Amino acid sequence: MIYFNNVSKTYKDALALDDITFNITAGEFVSIVGHSGAGKTTLTKMILADDAPTDGTVFFESIDVHKLKNKDLTKLRRRIGVVFQDFKLLGNKTAYENIAFAMEAVGKTDEEIASDVPHVLELVDLGNRLHHFPNQMSGGEQQRLAIARAIINQPELIIADEPTGNLDSINTHEIVQILKKINDLGTTVILATHNRGVIDSIGKRVIMMENGKIIRDTKHSK
C-alpha cells in the first residue's frame, strides 16, 4: 500500500530522514516510534505530500505521491484520515457539526450525514455527546471526536501523529483501543508516537527511528 524507496530529507544543514526504505501493506497497524526529532512527523508528511523528499520516492499503491497534480493529490488525501495531537476541532461547532462539516466537504448529502454521524460517534463512545461543543468535552473526548471526524468518510488509511501526547494514561488507553478497533474493521493505521508504553500495549508492528534512520522494524503477534 505504502512504499518508501531510499527516501532522504534535508532541511538546510539538518538531515531529517536518512535513506529510508520500507513498505506497509493494506490492513496493517504500524507504530512509528522515536524521540522528538527522530523523523516521525517528516515521514508521515511525505505520505500526504505535505513535504517532499530531497532524494528517493514515496508511493501510495503504485502512485508516486510527489508527482501528482493538485486535483489528483486532493483525491489521494481523501483516501487518508489524519488525527493530530492538538485535535484541530472547530470550536464553534458541536460534535455532530464537526463531523458533518467533514462530510459536506466531500459532497455527502444531508441524508447520508444524518445517518452516518450518530453511528460514527457511537463507534468512538461519544453517542451521548452529539450536541456538545469541544470546550464542553474532556481532552480524551475531544481526541475521540477527532478520530470520528478522520474516519467518517471511510478512508483506507489513518495517520495518527502523537494522538495521545496531551492525554493521561486512562485516555491514552481508550484512544489506542479505538485505533485498534478501526484497524480490526480493515483500515490501515499508522501511529507515530514517542510513548513506548503505548506500542507495547498494541502488540503490532513497530518501526523504531533515531536520527532520521530506521534502527529496528519488528513485527509482533498478540
Per-residue model confidence as pLDDT tens digits over 13-43? 899 999 999 999 999 999 999 998 899 999 9
Q: Is the pLDDT of residue 222 over 60?
A: no
The pLDDT value recorded for residue 195 is: 85
pLDDT band at 108 (very low <50, low <70, confident <90, very high): very high
Angstrom distance (rounded) from CA 47 to CA 25: 14
What pLDDT was estimated at residue 111? 97
Q: Kindly state the DSSP code that residue 170 receives in the 8-state scheme.
A: H
- In the chain, the amino acid numbered 19 is D
What is the tens place of the pLDDT at every residue in 150-190?
999 999 999 999 999 889 988 999 999 999 999 999 999 99
Q: From 58, 52, 92, select the one nearest 190 (Cα to Cα).
A: 58
Q: What is the pLDDT of residue 65?
A: 97
Long-range contacts of 173-181 (CB under 8 A, 24+ apart): 173/201, 174/125, 174/140, 174/144, 175/140, 175/143, 175/144, 175/147, 176/201, 176/202, 178/123, 178/124, 178/125, 178/144, 178/147, 179/29, 179/147, 180/29, 181/123
C-alpha cell at 69: 497534480
pTM given for the model: 0.93
Mean pLDDT across 8-16: 92
pLDDT (0 to 100) of residue 166:
86
pLDDT at 15: 94
Which phi and psi (to 5°) does residue 217 adopt? -135, 105
Write out the E strands in the chain: 2-11, 14-24, 29-33, 55-60, 63-64, 80-83, 157-161, 188-193, 205-210, 213-218
pLDDT of residue 220: 58
Could you tell me where in the chain the CATH 3.40.50.300 domains are found? Answer: 1-79+158-222
- pLDDT digit string, tens, across residues 44-66: 999 999 999 999 999 999 999 99
pLDDT in tens, 196-213: 888 888 889 999 999 999
Alpha-carbon distance of 145 to 149, in angstroms, equals: 6
Determine the pLDDT at residue 196: 82
CATH T-level assignment (fold) for domain 1-79+158-222 = Rossmann fold (3.40.50)
Point out which residues pair with 214 in neighbouring strands: 209
